Amino acid sequence: MSDGHDRLRLFSAQVFGKLEGAMTAGMIHLGDRLGLYRALADADQPMTSVELAVATDLHERWVREWLHNQAAARLLDHDVADGDDRFSMSREAKAVLATPDHPAFGMGMFHRLPATMQSLERMPESFETGLGHDYDSHGAQGAEGIERSFEPWNNANLLRTVLPAMDGVVDLLQNGARLADVGCGAGSAVMMMAEAFPNSEFVGYDISRHALDRARAKLASSPLPNARFIDPRDERLPRDGSFDVITTFDCIHDMSHPQDTIDAIRLSLHDDGHWLLVDIDAADDLAGNMEANPMASLLYGVSVLSCMSSAMSEPGGAGLGTLGLPASKAEEMARAAGFTRFERLPVDHAVNAFYEIRP
Ligand SMILES: C[S@@+](CC[C@H](N)C(=O)[O-])C[C@H]1O[C@@H](n2cnc3c(N)ncnc32)[C@H](O)[C@@H]1O
């Protein structure tokens, strides 16, 4: 066989490998949504498709085909015992697929996969007009998926690792301070910090109706007198230096006018205040991301459908996108807003970089 033919087969296999990933990602969404992973994780021995169908109250034929996909994708372990196909989960599979309070739990992105993929229908128009779509275009499922994406790691690390890495912030919050979480999404970080630091006051700002609905519903069911959630279009960040700490988790690169937000953060922050910027750990250019980040193609794809789309959702949008805020750019934008101190925090995370930025 010729070299050209081999290269063609290899390239074809590479392309269809992407489609295999997309299909299996859809099956992972179903496994999470239908409780299939949960039931497998709870079982004390490998299950047949009949047993899993009974445990989940689902139709056996469909469950069996799903199990075959998951075994073929090597996500579930498969054995044949007494002529029956049996399926089980490794310890790692249980952590990533079935344990919401494990820091490695990864179902958030899969939760919002249908909503994210649905936006493909809007893309041809966006590619023509340049205008993207904000987070609410992904509906309530999108907001819930974002919440489930970030909560597991934050629950395990925000109070224990991230805040203590900042200069005196835990003391400030213990004694009584004001903190704003800008781009707060469904409010998990605000809720967690408000509960941990009852002497301090916490305000979450977001422009997503679906995210704010979730945040306010959580607050209504677990009332905290020191937390509230605001749409900054109803009540903008105060320009009076009245916040001691501002946090932004994975959202500046999503904003259509991030420099305006950073300017507003500076104005609302006390001259001795602290800004915790958490954003995707990106290189300065495509080549750097391709070399250093094994998830670069995933992240550029998420950017088109979600992050950059949001960042282009208003005329004149900056369009930074998922990998659009490397340290150099973040520092440049912070200094342009009047910040003078910029430090990367020693926090270990698979995707994000953490910065403490001060006036
Ligand atoms: C990827 S989500 C992160 C949400 C949250 N920080 C978390 O960690 O779960 C990005 C959020 O930024 C919000 N956002 C985008 N532009 C914004 C703006 N100009 N002001 C406030 N929030 C904004 C979106 O609505 C979305 O909820």
Q: Is the CB of 153 under 6 A from ligand 1?
A: no
pLDDT of residue 1: 58
For the stretch 79-127, pLDDT in tens is 999 999 999 999 999 999 999 999 999 999 999 999 999 999 999 999 9
CA of 68 to the centre of ligand 1 (A): 38
Closest approach atom of ligand 1 to CA 208: 25
How far apart CA 112 and CA 149 sit, in angstroms, is 9
pLDDT of residue 48: 98
Mean pLDDT of the chain: 97
How far apart CA 166 and CA 153 sit, in angstroms, is 18
CA of 224 to the centre of ligand 1 (A): 22
How far apart CA 318 and CA 356 sit, in angstroms, is 23
Structural domains for the chain: 3-99 (1.10.10.10), 115-358 (3.40.50.150)
CA of 14 to the centre of ligand 1 (A): 34
Residue 214 contacts residue 151 (beta carbons within 8 Å): no
Q: What is the four-CA torsion angle of 112, 287, 351, 108, rounded to 10 degrees?
A: 10
Q: Residues of the chain whose pLDDT is less than 70?
A: 1
How far apart CA 231 and CA 237 sit, in angstroms, is 10
From 254, 261, 262, give the residue whose CB has the most ligand 1 atoms within 8 Å, as the site to mutate: 254
pLDDT of residue 210: 98
pLDDT of residue 4: 86
pLDDT of residue 332: 98
Closest C-alpha residue for ligand 1 atom 16? 255
List helix spans (H) across the chain: 3-33, 36-42, 49-56, 60-72, 91-98, 107-111, 113-118, 123-129, 139-157, 163-165, 169-175, 188-196, 209-221, 258-268, 286-292, 296-302, 308-311, 327-336
Q: Is the CB of 183 under 6 A from ligand 1?
A: yes
> Within a 10 A sphere around the Cβ of 288, how many other Cβ atoms?
14
Token match 């305006």: residue? 260
CA of 253 to the centre of ligand 1 (A): 9
Residues 6+ apart with CB under 8 A from 138: 112, 115, 116, 118, 119, 145, 210, 306
